[in-house]
Amino acid sequence: MDFEPGERSRAILETVGHFVADEIVPLEPDFLSRPFSELLPALEEKRSAVRELGLWAPGHPTELGGMGLDLVDLGLVSEAVGRSPLGHYVFGMHAPDAGNVEVLHRYGSDDQKTRWLEPLVDGRIRSCFSMTEPDMPGSNPVMLATTAVLDGDDYVIDGHKWYTTAADGAAFAIVMVVTDPDAEPHRRASMILVPTDTPGFELVRNIPVMGHAGDDYFSHSEIRYRDCRVPRANLIGDPGRGFAIAQERLGPGRIHHCMRWLGICRRAFEMMCDRALSRTIAPGQKLADKEIVQSWIAESHAEIEAARALTLQTAWRIDQYGWRTARQDISAIKFLVANTLQRVVDRALQVHGALGMTDDTLLAFYYREERAARIYDGPDEVHKISLARRILKDRRS
């Protein structure tokens, strides 16, 4: 398998790399010191420039106005824009919108596509995905307490969600709800589209994450659904298909996450190397002269390259054979890359010393925001158990 990009892909990656370095990275000091909402005018200018370059929405189908890249090329672009926390947003490939676009493109009705999908792909609105519940274990996704009960031609939704990313300012939520509590566990839930201006949709707060609540797109919200009534036509796909639809979204979604994490790894690694080479610790001696720092650099390099190779191999398998054939690798990259990210960022922060604890660099932001990589989309432990069971099952047969 050769993951070296072709001529077109190399040109795209070169343009993306220059744009991120020249146009997006300079916005980062303001991003770290001001509310995200205050950056929106500047970010909209950058988004317009991305559209003019023909690089908007790299992963979305061409018929929707995207670039239609396959998963390997999309992964490489995701790595490139992932060097900045603003990159995915500026290029129109940010979660949770990217996953919601996939869901609506595959399963949305014609009316849902016209009303919600088209402006979502175009970047005129944002969305959120409302699944995690504070009183239920996220490690067991079939345990949900939020319900949607049919009442005539409407669903009435009641429940409590949190960590609904980017709900602040979103136009609609895709909500995972129990529609048939008596069905077998994986057939109980459905996905329903809920406009955020619907009576009964209550955004309680943006949850402080290690002391930072964030705002607008960069936030995670607690939401109450209280007698929240939406038309039956807002159901996405068939009743009871919520988990099946979510599973199809997870494979490509993992590639998006993992390649973004690898972009962060690369940025933190470069910062670590530059700091080691420039920081004087004694007359005539730099941090880079210390063997322990050299060891951290060597380990980080090897771990990043290994994680990157497995992630791209997984993307290739999904492109060639579908996500079901790559289930083992999809589980593996989730915890492998998330742990690589944590180790590399931690080493980079350690090399920066006191500076690394401040918001004068990106490292503290990455440390507090990306620690959740080992929790969301299923905690590491669940993926390890799932992977081990499949390996042992294959070995027995």
The CATH number assigned to the domain holding 226 equals: 2.40.110.10
Position 268 confidence tier, pLDDT thresholds 50, 70, 90: very high
Q: Is residue 1 part of a domain?
A: no
Q: Which two tokens stand for residue 231?
A: 């038309």
- Identify the band that residue 84 occupies on the pLDDT scale cut at 50, 70 and 90: very high
Residue 150 lies in a domain: yes
Average pLDDT across the chain, whole number: 95
Same domain, 219 and 334: no
**pLDDT in the model for residue 294:** 98
> What pLDDT shows up at residue 7?
84
Does residue 15 lie within any of the structural domains? yes
Total of domains in the chain = 3
Q: How confident is the model at residue 1 (pLDDT cuts 50, 70, 90)?
A: low
Shared-domain flag, residues 228 and 260? no
Show the domain range for 152.
Answer: 127-236
| Inter-CA distances, 152 with 148, 229, 292, 321, Å | 12, 11, 68, 42
Last residue of a domain, one of 187, 207, 236: 236
Residue 250: HSE in the Cβ half-sphere, 13 Å Cα cutoff: 20
pLDDT of 354 above 60: yes
Q: What tokens appear for 123 in the block?
A: 């970047």
Q: Considering the domain boundaries, does residue 106 fall inside one?
A: no
- H/E/C letters for each residue in the chain? CCCCCCHHHHHHHHHHHHHHHHHHHHHHHHHHHCCHHHHHHHHHHHHHHHHHCCCCCCCCCHHHCCCCCCHHHHHHHHHHHCCCCCHHHHCCCCCCHHHHHHHHHHHCCHHHHHHHHHHHHHCCCCEEEECCCCCCCCCCCCCCCCEEEEECCEEEEEEEEEEEECCCCCCEEEEEEECCCCCCHHHCEEEEEEECCCCCEEEEEECCECCECEECCEEEEEEEEEEEEEEHHHEECCCCCHHHHHHHHHHHHHHHHHHHHHHHHHHHHHHHHHHHHHCEEECCEEHHHCHHHHHHHHHHHHHHHHHHHHHHHHHHHHHHHCHHHHHHHHHHHHHHHHHHHHHHHHHHHHHHHHHHHCCCCCHHHHHHHHHHHHCCCCCHHHHHHHHHHHHHHHHHC
Task: Specify whether 219 is located in the same domain as 339.
Answer: no
Q: Whole-angstrom Cα distance, residue 147 to residue 99?
A: 22
Q: What residue has token string 């490139």? A: 80
pLDDT the model gives residue 45? 98
30 in any annotated domain = yes
Q: Model-level pTM?
A: 0.94
Asked whether residue 110 is assigned to any structural domain, the reply reads no
Give the model confidence (pLDDT) of 300-343 as tens digits: 999 999 999 999 999 999 999 988 889 899 999 999 999 999 99
Number of helices (H), then strands (E), belonging to the chain: the values are: 13, 11
Both 47 and 133 in one domain: the answer is: no
| Pair 268, 313 in one domain | yes
Q: Examine the domain organization and report whether 248 and 329 are in the same domain.
A: yes
203 and 134 assigned to the same domain: yes
Same domain for 251 and 380 = yes
% of residues, the chain, pLDDT over 70 = 99
**pLDDT (0 to 100) of residue 307:** 97
**Cβ pair 373, 342 in contact under 8 A:** yes
Q: Is the domain of 253 the same as that of 365? A: yes
Same domain, 257 and 318: yes
Cis-peptide, bond into residue 96, ω within 30° of zero: yes
pLDDT tens across 12-69, in order? Answer: 999 999 999 999 999 999 999 999 999 999 999 999 999 999 999 999 999 999 999 9
Same domain assignment for residues 231 and 315: no
